[in-house]
Structure 1
Amino acid sequence: MSEKLTLIATAAMGLESIVAKEVRDLGYECQVDNGKVTFEAEPLAICRANLWLRTADRIKLKVAEFKATSFEELYEKTKAIDWARFIPETGEFPVIGKSVKSKLASVPDCQRIVKKAVVDKLKKQYKKATEWLDETGSLYRIEVALHKDVATLTIDTSGSGLHKRGFRVGQGDAPLKETMAAALVLLTNWNADRPFVDPFCGSGTIPIEAAMIGQNIAPGFNREFVSESWEWMGASLWDEARNEVEQLAKYDQPLDILGTDIDHRMIHIAKENALEAGFGDMIQFKQMQVKDFTTAKEYGVIVGNPPYGERLGERKEVEMMYRDMGIAFDSLDTWSIYMLTSYQQFEEAYGKKATKKRKLFNGFIRTDYYQYWGKRPPKPSKVE
């Protein structure tokens, strides 16, 4: 299959523009909408997008989009699609769904109608006389999403969500998603030549994502994707995409990355995760309170996801920690500091107004990403 496909990279609220930049960096023009980035590309893009996109949730193949205000209309328009183009005779195709502001509000009924329509069409295309199909082959998970009476039919190409990089051995109580961690790094002015510190590293997610960005390692290099087993894709496309990943990685790029945390158990887990990700010797982890952080290095970047104080009893403790952090970081005038928190009075507690702040959602929690920009590093002198 060489013709262009329509692909959708889904994104958490607030990260759409970052996902769009990643898609464009792969060489694809795209359109940005709430929660998704849509682009047209050849089948190879399924492999490249799954392997390379750090901040997208998953990659979906858009099969069709049409208006549907009755179950009959949904059935007939779904049945009219050339499903054999994507799903083989033995393909397994469960149907999931969602409906927002649409007349067809019953999601289970929509799923049932779409399933029946696809079964009926594939039976005709593969000349099967049985009532149901033998779904023993590769997985092609179909989603019917209705929004304002417009039905969008997609097939998931990722399998597990893209935040699952394949290296997490352990985690804490409220782990930061890898896709969000990558976004926090990409929203900074950091590059691999500068020091990087996460003073609330937990299980090491932010430092590990920074290391992958610093060495240009594709986040999906260490995992599998459901579309790798799709017959019409072919193994050669995935081989080509994985060869590109290997060629573009900068394994020799030195890194200066430090993760600290008050909890010695999390430091142990972070070290195990970094080792599994291939950064055992490149990322340093240390048990430390944020108020004890000092450094003689310059022009570094600090990125943190500190406790938010969401529970009433924690607020005073969190306020004090923010105040101590502000004092500890006060002399770091060449460093840029980025903190994600839902605590609305962060700037007052920290003792300094942010250069900029950006609204983001950490799961379902509305947060702000407070950005304090340090002095720019001097430009390297030209060699005569």
Structure 2
Amino acid sequence: MTYQLVATCLFGLEKLLGEELDALGLKRTLTMDGRVFFEGEAKDVARANLFLRTAERVYVLLGSFPAPTFAALFDGTRALPWEEFVGKYDAFPVKGHAIKSRLTSIPDCQSIVKKAVVERLSAHYGAKWFAENSGVKYQIEFFIFKDMAYLMIDTSGVALHKRGYRPESGVAPIRETLAAAIALTARPREDTLFWDPFCGSGTLVIEAALIATGRAPGLTRSFAGEAFSFLPKNLWSTAREEAESKIVHDSKFETFASDIDEDMLDLVYENATRAGVEEHLNIFAADARTIQKPDRRGTLLCNPPYGERLMTKEETEALYAAIGKNFATFSPWQMYIITSCESFEKLFRRRADKTKRLYNGMIPCTLYEYFKPR
């Protein structure tokens, strides 16, 4: 059976997510801000959850329909085959959001969708009520965009950026999916040293090492879909076997993870160990303003501190000016620097070869790419 599926992502990562789906052999059908629609079999639900590095969640799309009114939302939802997915004794909470649509009250939309699903299941199972806290949980989510409603079931559970290797974070953590996107853009290779001089909890270099060694980001975690009756249990074990087979155990990929805060270094090692890539990281204390370029090909990628929580505006400006001066000595190394500081290029004293607007959660940022020799 072919399912209509949806993978969501942070704004700005749609192209990378689409390329990941292509690499998995999955057919894309539609791209919208923050989500990519695609087709796949039941096994591909498991594969997408395990392998996608830039996706936040993977959904099964039950259907879409115009919903300019509450009546249309109710009728469209009730017409969908919920009984093919949700059992008589299962829980099915509802959440969602609406953008640029006439239906703006999310609580009212939740109630309408819930009532419609209950009526559909009641007619099928002959039940008058359904338990809220028993059975398998099928999280129903609606997305209404320009009066078009999309009704989905979340197969991921905990968001996919939570890989499981980072129970603790630094002061200003970068989301794992965003770190993976930056690393994918930089293209980790065995012959290129990667270095994050503001490593914090190590997310950027860990994601780069996962990519370089072919380790699936979801290999060490579980997913809500593993409990779903319409997804055979063996699909998940088969997907994990596929993921295990793709690991490059003899990879020579190497990264430097340095930070001026020595207290972070043990955490970096612990996170890398949980991710299974600790042997690829060289972890040490260093000041990014004075580090020196190794005599080999390399790439700098970092998320330098910015914001009132970490330092004053004057301290930020002084730091960016200092690293701009020091990083200039790293040519012809490539650099990928993400920050929410809008005056970064001026302070860094070098215009980027390419910029990309991204979001770290809800925080707007810019990825500054330097790949041309200076």
Question: TM-score, normalized by length of structure 2?
Answer: 0.95
Distance (Å, rounded) in 1 between the aligned partners of 2:144 and 2:33: 14
Please say if 1:372 is aligned against 2:370: yes
Selected match of 2:334 from 330, 333, 336 = 336
Partner residue, 1:268: 266
Query: Which of these residues, 134, 140, 143, is aligned with residue 142 of structure 1?
Result: 140
Deviations 1:284-327 (A, max 9, x none): 11111102211333220110000124579722212222222122
**Within-5 A mapping of 1:274-289:** 274-289=272-287
Taking the aligned partners of 1:134 and 1:201, their CA distance within structure 2 comes to 43
* TM-score, normalised by the number of residues in structure 1: 0.92
What residue number does 2:67 align with?
68
Paired residues, what number?
Answer: 373
Equivalence for 2:232? 234
The equivalent of 1:99 in structure 2 is 98
| Aligned counterpart in structure 1 of residue 221 of structure 2, from 220, 223, 235 | 223
What's 1:48 paired with?
Answer: 47
| 1:162 positional shift | 0.5
Q: CA contact under 8 A between 1:165 and 1:219: conserved in structure 2?
A: yes
Contact persistence 1:61–1:154 (CA under 8 A): yes
2:253 equivalent in structure 1 = 255
Match of 1:348 in 2: 346
From 11, 15, 18, the equivalent of 2:16 is 18
Q: Is the 8 A contact 2:3 2:42 kept in 1?
A: yes
2:118 maps to 119
Aligned to 1:77: 76
Q: Partner letter of residue 68 of structure 2?
A: T
For 1:68 and 1:369, the matched residues in 2 are separated by: 37
- Given that 2:189 and 2:253 are in contact with CA atoms closer than 8 Å, whether structure 1 keeps it comes out as no
CA distance in 1, matches of 2:57, 2:312: 35
Identity of aligned residues (%): 39
Aligned to 2:200: 202
Aligned partners of 2:343 and 2:102: how far apart in 1?
43
Q: CA deviation at 1:71?
A: 2.4
Which residue number in structure 1 is paired with residue 189 of structure 2?
191
Classify 1:297/1:189 alpha carbon distance in 2 versus 1 (closer, same or farther; 3 Å).
farther
Structure 1 residue runs without a partner (length 5+): 376-384
Write out per-residue CA displacement over residues 169-190 of structure 1, whole angstroms, 9 at most, x where no aligned residue.
3212221100000011111143
- What is the alpha-carbon distance in structure 2 between the residues aligned to residue 100 and residue 223 of structure 1? 32
CA distance in 1, matches of 2:37, 2:67: 21
Task: Give me the whole-angstrom Cα distance separating, in 1, the residues matched to 2:357 and 2:76.
Answer: 39
TM-fit CA distance, 1:94: 0.2
**Given that residues 93 and 135 in structure 1 are in contact (C-alpha distance below 8 angstroms), is that contact kept between their aligned partners in structure 2?**
no
Q: CA deviation at 1:133?
A: 4.6
3-state SS, counterpart of residue 281 of structure 1 = helix
1:138-183 CA distance string (max 9 Å, x none):
1110012222222111100100000000111321222110000001
8 Å Cα contact 2:90-2:130 kept in structure 1: no
Question: Are the equivalent residues in 2 in contact too, given 1:169–1:269 (CA < 8 A)?
Answer: no
- Retained in 2: the 8 A contact 1:97–1:108? no
Q: Which 5+ residue runs of structure 2 have no aligned equivalent?
A: none
Query: 2:35 aligned with 1:36, yes or no?
Result: yes
Once the two structures are TM-superposed, the CA of residue 240 in structure 1 deviates from its matched residue by 1.3
SS of equivalent to 2:151: strand
Q: What RMSD, in angstroms, separates the aligned Cα atoms of the two structures?
A: 1.9
